[in-house]
Structure 1
Amino acid sequence: MSAWLLSLCLHEFGHAWVAWKGGDDAILETGYLTLDPRHYIDPMFSVVMPMIFLMIGGIGFPGGSVLINRARLRSRAWQSAMSAAGPAMNGLFLIALMAFYQLCSEEAEGLRLAIAAAAFVQCTALVLNLLPIPGLDGYGILQPWLPDTVQAIGGKIAVYSGVILVGLFLVSSSFGQALSRAGFAMAIAAGFEHSDIVFGCHAMRLW
């Protein structure tokens, strides 16, 4: 749980840091570069909802929301880089978990389960965040290169992205199952044992 909260902060730190480097100097005044989730503009969807989704279903629900002025960024490439920086931080965090997992002895079973579960959550977060849905980073990477009319429509949809995702999880069981399968495949490809992921996720859930 603590690993997931840390990764939420690192994810948003990545967005903020690249935005700052890309020209949004106002980031320095917001506190977004301090890894402090209390500065996020929407605490409910930034921290509370992702933690609840993690406890209920073991899914890396997108969290954290920092206020970035895209108009201040120097180019469309910087805008795309800013959106990509969040998932990139999840990827770096996953690499760190891979290293800890390999260094962890077979006797430390509980620790191995915790690391494997944390890695699975990072994998699901990566897959989910990179979907080209308005409000998610996958769409944010593409957004600067889309026609203005498409961006205008996407901006209206992005306001309800959290509600749309919750609805997809609640209404369509296949959506959550597909996300879990993709997360499992990625975690196994990264070197984590299937049994460690399964037992780790069961231990993490509320029931």
Structure 2
Amino acid sequence: MTTAIRKSDRRVSPVFLGIAAVTAVSGWAVWTDYAASLGVAVFLFVTGCWIVSLCLHEYAHARTALHSGDITIGAKGYLTLNPLKYTHALLSIVLPVIFVIMGGIGLPGGAVFIERGRIQGRWKHSLISAAGPLTNVLFALVCTAPFWLHALDGVPPAFRYALGFIALLQVTAAILNFLPVPGLDGYGVVEPWLSYKVRRQVEPFAPYGLLVVFVLLFFIPEVNAAFFDAIHAILRGLGVSELDSYCGRNIFSFWMSRDGFVCGAAG
């Protein structure tokens, strides 16, 4: 069935390649301390990594759907990693980036449009939903590898802190996406196993799931504190200290505080 996909449907988009190039160049600038402004370099590096991870998140959904039976995925441009091809580019890319800039949290975005009627089997539907946040898990493991492998010798402090902040974003995105809240991937994992009646009752609330999560995290201090306590506990298990992610966020938010530059200069 996948033979219907044309080569052009899976050719990596120049838009994605451009984002990846900016990410690589800014990462090099952070590593070498070549940039005139460390904060700007870290901002571009972290934001670029975050957008790349969002593209891979949506690609994972699409690729899994393709192999599960939805051969319309290719024609929609989802296999090109082009963020402009998503059905909700605002929800999938723009808003998550804004949330990172405003609050330093990896809120999940919208999903690609998948024709579920073409897919048979509850396990396939669950796997399609799980594929996206599993990509965030993999991204977090890659970013934290120098920490849990104890391979930080020679890594510049600013680059280390940037990786710590990127890891925080990926862990928050993975956990939030796996919440069984209507409209999020976690609910998509369990939805195929629910009765038709329950699914019909929950369906009207799906558009508001992300909004509810946003309100709980940003306006209820107890929820925010408990959530980030859990996040930092996971990061500590991966070798990333709160200082790493804190300093990374401060350098990233260079327009708000000068503390990040003290962190960046620390050894």
TM-score computed with the length of structure 2 as normaliser:
0.73
Give distance in 2, aligned partners of 1:85 and 1:15. 6
Structure 1 position 106, deviation (Å)? 4.7
Q: How does 1:113-192 map to 2 (within 5 A)?
A: 113-192=161-240
Alpha-carbon shift at residue 64 of structure 1 (Å): 4.0
Q: Which has the higher contact order (CA 8 A, sep 6+)?
A: 1
Structure 1 stretches of 4+ with a deviation exceeding 6 A read none
Structure 1 position 10 matched with structure 2 position 25: no
Deviation at 1:105, TM superposition (A): 3.1
Shift in alpha-carbon separation, 1:62–1:107, aligned structure 2, 3 A:
closer
Pairing 1:41-120 to 2, within 5 Å after superposition = 41-101=87-147, 102-106=150-154, 108-120=156-168
Classify the secondary structure of the residue corresponding to 1:160.
Answer: helix
Other-structure match for 2:248: 200
Q: Which whole-Å deviations, capped at 9, do the CAs of 1:173-203 have from their partners, x for residues lacking one? A: 2232222222211111112133111211222
C-alpha contact (below 8 Å) 1:130/1:136 kept by paired residues: yes
Shift of 1:91: 1.0
Note if contact 1:62-1:129 (Cα within 8 Å) is conserved in structure 2. Answer: yes
Distance 2:116 2:137 in 1: 23
**Residue matched to 2:16:** none
Indicate conservation of the 8 Å contact 1:127/1:179, yes or no.
no
The alignment partner of 1:105 has SS state of: coil
What per-residue deviation string (whole Å, max 9, x for no partner) do you get for residues 146-171 of structure 1? 01111112221112223223322343
Distance 1:141 1:107, change over 3 A: closer
- Aligned AA (1:33): L
Identity, % of aligned pairs? 37
Unmatched segments (≥5 aa) in structure 1? none
| CA distance in structure 2 between the partners assigned to 1:204 and 1:141 by the alignment | 33
CA contact (8 A) 1:59 1:180 kept: no
Alpha-carbon deviation of 1:54? 0.7
Q: How many Å separate the matches in 2 of 1:170 and 1:107?
A: 34
Of 22-31 and 160-169, the range deviating more from structure 2: 160-169
Q: Check conservation: 2:184, 2:210, Cα contact below 8 A.
A: no
Match of 1:28 in 2: 74
* Amino acid in the other structure paired with 1:22: S
Is the 1:114–1:200 Cα contact (8 Å) retained in structure 2? yes
1:130 and 1:138 in contact (8 A); partners too: yes
**Which among 85, 94, 107 is matched to residue 39 of structure 1?**
85
Contact 2:129 2:189 in 1 (8 A): yes
Larger Rg: 2
- The whole-number CA distance in structure 1 between the counterparts of 2:216 and 2:182 is 14
After superposition, the CA RMSD in angstroms is 1.6
- Tell me how far 1:113 sits from its aligned partner: 0.4
Q: Which amino acid aligns with 2:223?
A: F
